[in-house]
Structure 1
Amino acid sequence: MKPCLLCMKSLTEVPSWQSFFGLEKKKTLCDSCSNRFKRADIKEEDAVLDAVHSLYEYDDAMRDWLHQYKFLQDIALAEVVAHDLRSAFSREDVIVPVPMHPERAKIRTFSHVEALLAAANRPYVQLLRKTNPGVMGEKSRQERLEMENLFALLPGAKVEPITYRLVDDIYTTGTTLRQAAAVLKQAGAARVEVVTLIRSVQK
């Protein structure tokens, strides 16, 4: 019997025809933990981001999940959101993860966005590099809005006149995503859409 990835209680699963054909959502949480997560499905757009789709609210349950996954490096928790993230894309989407700075990647030991996409079984292309090691979560809203561009194209990266879908874990002010989208559009992208797991409002 598998344990819940959050509370470690044993999971009880009843076999169904969907599970037999691999169509059923993989159970990773007990009912109690699963019921804490609230879908938001917030959809927005602005002058730079042609579409934004955020899957979850940034409530206590999602805050706890993000902390354990991202900062305590519990990479197995990517499976908790894999089904919903996978459903946010079509097989034709060209997905671009928002990159980490190499110094931050060494400290964290894994790329949290790439691990989410791997768990969701969605292929992606690397087109961007982060040029500043600063941590956005440590900055105020005003500091985020005033930051110089954090991204550049990877050497040799080819951007085509198509739609790209940027992926990040959390949308707060949108500064990071707009800067990444601006680099892609300046390089020739026709359209840049965004998918984030979480939509947070920073005051």
Structure 2
Amino acid sequence: MNKEIINCLLCERELQQIITWQTLFERRLAPVICERCKLKFELVNYQKEGLYAIFHYNEAMKNFLRQYKFLQDIILAKVFRQELHELLSKRSEIIVPIPMHPLKKKERTFAHIDELLHAAEIPYEHLLEKTTVETQVGKSKLERQQVAPLFRIAHQKQLTAKHYIIVDDIVTTGTTIAHAKRALLDAGAESVTAIVLIKG
């Protein structure tokens, strides 16, 4: 994962390293996709009730998720590392990734949210664990709202801070985020917000 990227991870064109004042004076991670591919992803900057999303779920993002999550192309965790780094690196809250159920992680071979955070050089804590392997895909909004709690505080974990940020890849109805927030608030957190890569 630490090997220098010289070709776009999405289209394999050679990357053009452009030196600007930002790259000289700011903490910027080296780009891993070309400008042409970058323009295919639509910024949405969605913000509502403690939830912030960076990108819209368009065709380019759909293809990215398929390649990254389901075809297990783990190096693609680096594609949005700069955006995540900018949003999270200076936050004082504890970062909590949405966890995978151990059986799902074994099937997929890696925890995709963890890898996104690793690539963005963001420290995090595993405070939650998934209670079921059941997914929310294909359920109606009502069905999602009526499910039993999806998360609990992980075994032998205690909340040592007051403020937390949940990180996930995509939000659609918001059920997953709501369940994760509830688990942390019930365990004593004073505030819980969420940052997701994609607004579905």
TM over 0.5: yes
Q: Deviations over 1:44-76 (max 9, x none)?
A: 11xxxxx11101111111111111111111111
Q: Structure 2: any 5+ residue segments left out of the alignment?
A: none
Query: Corresponding residue for 2:42?
Result: 38
Q: Deviations over 1:92-120 (max 9, x none)?
A: 22101110000000000000001011111
Alignment of 1:88-103 (within 5 A): 88-89=87-88, 90-103=90-103
Query: Corresponding residue for 1:183?
Result: 183
> 2-side partners of 1:177 and 1:18: how far apart?
34
Deviation at 1:21, TM superposition (A): 5.9
Of the structure 1 ranges 14-23 and 52-61, higher mean CA displacement relative to structure 2 is found in 14-23
Q: Does the 8 A contact of 2:99 with 2:128 survive in 1?
A: yes
Query: Corresponding residue for 1:146?
Result: 146
Q: Does the 8 A contact of 1:2 with 1:11 survive in 2?
A: yes
> 1-side partners of 2:19 and 2:43: how far apart?
26
3-state SS of 2:107 partner: helix
Alignment of 1:97-176 (within 5 A): 97-160=97-160, 162-176=162-176
Q: Deviations over 1:76-105 (max 9, x none)?
A: 111110010111122422101110000000
Name the amino acid aligned to 2:27. L
Change (3 A) 1:189 1:24: closer
Count of aligned residue pairs for this structure pair: 195
> 2-side partners of 1:22 and 1:44: how far apart?
29
Q: Does the 8 A contact of 2:94 with 2:161 survive in 1?
A: no
Query: Corresponding residue for 1:78?
Result: 77
Picking from 8, 11, 24, the partner of 1:7 is: 11
Q: Structure 1: any 5+ residue segments left out of the alignment?
A: 46-50
Task: State the superposition RMSD in angstroms.
Answer: 1.7
Q: Does the 8 A contact of 1:29 with 1:80 survive in 2?
A: yes
Q: Does the 8 A contact of 2:166 with 2:177 survive in 1?
A: yes
Name the amino acid aligned to 2:108. R
Identical-pair percentage: 38
Q: Deviations over 1:100-150 (max 9, x none)?
A: 000000000000001011111010011111010012224333322221111
Q: Does the 8 A contact of 1:160 with 1:188 survive in 2?
A: no
